[in-house]
Structure 1
Amino acid sequence: MTTMVTEAPETDIRRHELAGFLRSRRERITPEQAGLPRGPRRRTPGLRREEVAQLSAVGVTWYTWLEQARDIHVSPQVLDALARALLLDPSERSHLFALAGAVDPAPGSRCAGVTPALEALLTRLEPYPACIQNSRYDILAYNRTYGRLLCDLDAVAPEDRNCMLLAYTNEDWRASVVDLAEMRRVMAAKFRGAMAEHLAEPAWKTLLGRLEAASPEFGEIWARHEVVGPGGRTKLFRNARVGLLRLDHTDLWLGPSAGPRLVTYVPADEESRQGLERLLALSPVGA
């Protein structure tokens, strides 16, 4: 007799992983850590479900269903409240949103994948502009000269620090690129090539939706279905502070090609080198 085993759908696996993760985080927190009185005859390790619901401002029944892996919708705002109530660190918070298949509305300025060693490397590369990006073009970390190369990145909300979004929506960024049309075409083609491995992932679909809603120009380019692989080349920037910069762009992969990369811009001539020196001098320390 042959027994057939049906593999559980990915969403079902995610719900059970999420339920187990929430339960484990709840059980490790004491009432005192959460600012709650312990009370008499407490048998539950950590917090009770109703206490987590109270701290997160959600219904007890709804939270119970969540820990039971019920098929219910969880908004990013509720996940944010749960992360705060359960005192999750940045890595745990990222894991929570990944299990729920949601985009973190407040990821913070520091990415868990950017180590102190990488941050030190970015600083040591100054005055050469450098940043850490993922294959979705999210800017995870950057040094001072990169932060002032195309626009004032410090003034951009962390969730909007994405090269694709900035190239289509940020006027300062657009004005700094000499051949804007070609850069956007190549970026869209690279984005399409990278997205092939992430078609079902919410963060990728959300970014694509934002781009299509924000820019008819992006929609026209996207409809061409062009694909370009990763690679570096010389780029021209017209910086508002120091003028024309001719820079050689290089990607250094920090892991698998689908993972994060170190993006560097090295001056292609002496005038550009001097321009980067001036740009660094104009960038505030600690930016």
Structure 2
Amino acid sequence: MARSGLGAFLRSRRERITPADVGLPAGRRRRTPGLRREEVAQLAFISTEYYTRLEQARGPSPSREVLAGLARALRLSDAERDHLYHLAGVPPAPPPGPQREVRPSILDLVRRLPLAAATVNSAIYEVLAWNDLAAALMEDFSAVPPRDRNLARRAFLGPHPDGRRLYGVSDAEEFAHSVAVGLRAATARYPDSPEVAGLVDELRAGSDAFAGLWAAGEVDAPRILRKTFPHPLVGPVTVNCDVLDIADRDQHVVIYTADPGSSSEEALRLLSVVGTQRIDVIG
């Protein structure tokens, strides 16, 4: 345990947080930057005396529970949390669950993509963000509850409102295989996440197909590079499928583009207009 390093790190993280960041009143007689020691201790559910000793490099090695409480109280990023554990001489705990917050720059990127349908998906296949063309090609994700935006559930449990499972895509079988492999990897990265375990249990209980894929124990899946959406308005739309990994968030940007000059490119162009008109009418 690096006591002096741990104390200095805790102090630096404490001083950068304002009371408003954690829902506390600022008060009139606040002479030091950031939070007070007693405020951090309260948020971490430990005694002020114990926290003070940690900052002054006099405290005993904190437990995992204490470190987890400090990480929450100090609003640490994943990298900062791992650094805190290393300073305390404890192997970093696995992250509590998949990250759902999408970076603003990624949201801006998705919105700016020309003639491309794009979504941002979590590690467990939740559609977290999308652009207008993705909504026109697949469905209006804003019109369904967040729970129903999960593509794993779409693939194995829930048909689309018009009766097509997973939008009728041509690669439904390959995608189902990749979902099983992806969720197996997610259970390894988030072993303590009730969300990940709950989703896997739900799919195993509700889908014989998923239960069979899960029992097979495969950890590799073919890369899906091209697929066709049978769109009810513009007909078949064949697109290239590229996936960009956002490593620090464990998220994926999925981008669908059509070959230049193809009928599918013209279909996407038409959908971009139809989607815009639809949004304008609703607004």
Change (3 A) 1:208 1:25: same
Distance 2:242 2:212 in 1: 27
Equivalent residue for 1:281, pick from 265, 272, 276: 276
Cα distance, 1:71 vs structure 2: 1.9
* Partner residue, 2:221: 228
RMSD (CA atoms): 5.0
Aligned residue in 1 for 2:240: 249
The SS at the match of 2:225 is coil
Could you tell me which amino acid in structure 1 is paired with residue 263 of structure 2?
A: D
Partner residue in 2 for 1:8: none
Query: Matched residue of 1:37: which SS?
Result: coil
Among residues 26, 51, 55, which one is paired with 1:64 in the alignment? 51
Of 133, 143, 146, 1:145 maps to: 133
Residue in structure 2 matching 1:186, options 177, 187, 197 = 177
8 Å contact 1:188–1:222 — kept in the other structure? Answer: no
Cross-structure match for 1:25: 13
TM-score, with structure 2 as normaliser: 0.61
Query: Retained in 2: the 8 A contact 1:190–1:229?
Result: no
- Structure 1 residue runs without a partner (length 5+): 1-11
- Provide the secondary structure at the position in 2 that maps to 1:250: strand
* Runs of at least 5 residues in structure 2 that lack an aligned partner in the other structure: 83-91
Q: Distance in 1 between matches of 2:5 and 2:154?
A: 35
1:133–1:141 Cα contact (<8 Å) kept: yes
> In structure 2, the residue corresponding to 1:172 is in which secondary structure?
coil
- Kindly indicate whether the alpha-carbon contact (under 8 Å) linking 1:145 and 1:276 is maintained by their aligned counterparts in 2: yes
The residue that corresponds to 1:122 in the other structure is 110
How far apart, in 2, do the equivalents of 1:170 and 1:18 lie?
A: 49
Q: Distance in 2 between matches of 1:279 and 1:143?
A: 14
Distance in 2, matches of 1:29 and 1:230, equals: 43
**Residue in 2 that maps onto 1:4:** none
Q: What letter matches 1:284 in structure 2? A: I
Report how many residues are paired: 252
- Partner secondary structure for residue 242 of structure 2: strand
1:19–1:101 CA distance, 2 compared to 1 (3 A): farther
1:164 aligns with 2:152: yes
Q: Distance in 2 between matches of 1:191 and 1:204?
A: 17
Distance in 2, matches of 1:65 and 1:171, equals 56
